[in-house]
Amino acid sequence: DKRKQLAKAREAAKRNRESGANESLATKKLVLPHRAIKRIMKLDKGVGKIQNEAVLLATYASELFVKKLVKESHKHAKQRGRNIIRYEDVAEARAANENLTFLDTLLP
């Protein structure tokens, strides 16, 4: 399902690039501002130009990451009878998922 969504976003970006339009429908559906993601990507001094399709995919991946982290954090909050996500819920979500070990320095 996520692969299909990513493929759709990639195709929309390709059509956008080919048509010369500034924003595609896929871009408008994104919650995170793709221009902000592009600025973040350019913080690495070794990065030169970034293709719009790459920015779109990075933005979409960022949204998927945040949604997953929030969903897992909310599970931990619910287990404690809360609807409010706290720092410790996010830290527990990170600890429960070994794919999130890159967050260890942020969430000890």
What gap in Å lies between CA 86 and CA 84, rounded to an integer?
A: 6
11-67: pLDDT as tens digits:
777 776 666 555 554 556 889 998 999 999 999 999 999 999 999 999 999 999 999
Residue 10 has pLDDT above 80, yes or no: no
Does pTM surpass 0.75? no
Q: What are the backbone angles phi and psi of residue 23, rounded to the nearest 5°? A: -135, 135
Residue 77 has pLDDT above 70, yes or no: yes
- Determine the pLDDT at residue 70: 97
12-22: pLDDT as tens digits:
777 766 665 55
**Domains along the chain with CATH numbers:** 2-103 (1.10.20.10)
What gap in Å lies between CA 102 and CA 91, rounded to an integer?
A: 12
